[in-house]
Amino acid sequence: MADLRVSVTEAFRHRFGAPPAHVVRAPGRVNLIGEHTDYNDGFVMPLAIEQAVWLAVGPRDDDRVVLHSTRAPEPADFRLGAMERGDGWGEYAKGVAWALQAQGHELRGLEGVLASDVPEGAGLSSSAALELAVARALSEGAGLDWDPAVMARTAQRAENEWVGVRCGVMDQMASACGVAGHAVLLDCRSLAVTPTPLPAWTTVLVLDTGTRRGLVDSAYNARRETCERVARVLSVPALRDATLDGLQAAEDVLTPTQVRRARHVVTENARVLAAAEAMRQGDAARVGALMAASHASLRDDYEVSSPALNAFVEAAQAQPGCYGARMTGAGFGGCVVALVASDRAEAVAEAATLAYRQRTGHAPTAYRVRAVGGASLEPVPALFL
Ligand code: GLA
């Protein structure tokens, strides 16, 4: 939100005694459809959202990077010339600096203050937003060209190789390449970005179950390994290249679980492309039906949903004006995304929240999200110039 732009600027001036040189913003994302397809070279359809990481920065004379976060007591503090692994949130910043340097870029030290209103662990990509904010600030400080897709890959590399999470590229691409007022169809193999308009008179709701995922990294990595194993058995580069016929033909040499996992990926890729087509035609009902089918597949074939996610999806889909709902992000907890008729958005949010709370006893939240542009350099508030 715009007030974080002001508050990080104020916090910067308070801490360092001068206004920042730059303020950067990098958004979180919600994924409309296309789950667990990105690391299979497939298709996804996220939108970058207003909730974002904001970072006010200024240059330093040495090679230190010092970043203070309003969410953490300890700053990220490291030297570009002597990078060592540690733990805590600063590893995301360090990983980005490491990945940029590994590509041969010469970086300069900087100091800054960051704040975020992307909820953590909710499946809305708070880490990717942090990575892209740091990438944007380091690039600006070093005078590097900003190529959003290249930077998304760099941030993914930071997370894969420095932080040690084997995520795909969707979250970083969404934060880097978001387009205002649009979802973006991403081809996770070519990194082609196709802005895709939301159907007229529809609103995207985020329904937060109030539950947070546990053990998600190990389950995530296990799913990914299964996909890679099935692709090898089918002799395709990735499950993006698999077909239902090919899968059926290999059923004898696969376990039933492997078949179900791969079936999710194959059918989900098809659903994303069908949803993009339906969106171009403004067919909200069709998009919603595809979202509902996506949820069923994630619940039954991929097995990454949770009782709370299922309950919230059901509560939302029971409301008039809800076209479709599904879990969003890695799963096991976090948020549901729903496509609803704009004039029913509030009613759906209220009724679904009430029904979900009564059924589960959890403390949910619900809000509309707006699709915004990808990571950007923002004007330093005039007040401080
Ligand atoms: C997490 C990962 C993404 C993607 C989703 C599932 O958000 O970071 O790369 O795999 O899970 O679709």
What does the pLDDT read at residue 384?
54
14 phi, psi to nearest 5 deg: -60, -45
What does the pLDDT read at residue 213?
78
Residue whose CA lies nearest to ligand 1 atom number 8? 167
Ligand 1 centroid from CA 62, angstroms: 36
DSSP state letter for 160? I
What does the pLDDT read at residue 319?
98
Q: Tell me the C-alpha to C-alpha distance, in Å, between residue 259 and each of 34, 102, 226, 227, 301.
A: 18, 38, 10, 10, 9
- Tens place of pLDDT for every residue, the chain, 385 residues? 559 999 999 999 999 999 999 999 999 999 999 999 999 999 999 999 999 999 999 999 999 999 999 989 999 999 999 999 999 999 999 999 999 999 999 999 999 999 999 999 899 999 999 999 999 999 999 999 999 999 999 999 999 999 988 999 999 999 999 999 999 999 999 999 999 999 999 999 999 999 997 767 889 999 999 999 999 999 999 999 999 999 999 999 999 999 999 999 999 999 999 999 999 999 999 999 999 999 999 999 999 999 999 999 999 999 999 999 999 999 999 999 999 999 999 999 999 999 999 999 999 999 999 999 999 999 998 765 5
Terminal-to-terminal C-alpha distance of the chain = 21
Pocket lining: 159 vs ligand 1, CB cutoff 6 Å = no
CA pair distance 115, 361, nearest whole angstrom: 31
CB-hemisphere CA count at 13 Å for 382? Answer: 0
Pocket lining: 332 vs ligand 1, CB cutoff 6 Å = no
Q: Where would I find the beta strands (DSSP E) of the chain?
A: 22-33, 43-59, 64-69, 76-79, 110-116, 182-187, 193-197, 202-208, 322-328, 335-341, 365-369, 376-378
What does the pLDDT read at residue 2?
55
Amino acid symbol at 278: A
CA pair distance 197, 381, nearest whole angstrom: 31
What does the pLDDT read at residue 184?
98
The SS3 call for residue 104 is: coil
Residue whose CA lies nearest to ligand 1 atom number 11? 330
Active-site entry in 3, 41, 87, 171: 171
Q: Of ligand 1's atoms, which has the minimum distance to the CA of residue 36? A: 12
Pocket lining: 129 vs ligand 1, CB cutoff 6 Å = no
Residue whose CA lies nearest to ligand 1 atom number 1? 330
Ligand 1 centroid from CA 38, angstroms: 7
State yes or no: is 171 an active-site residue.
yes
What does the pLDDT read at residue 215?
61
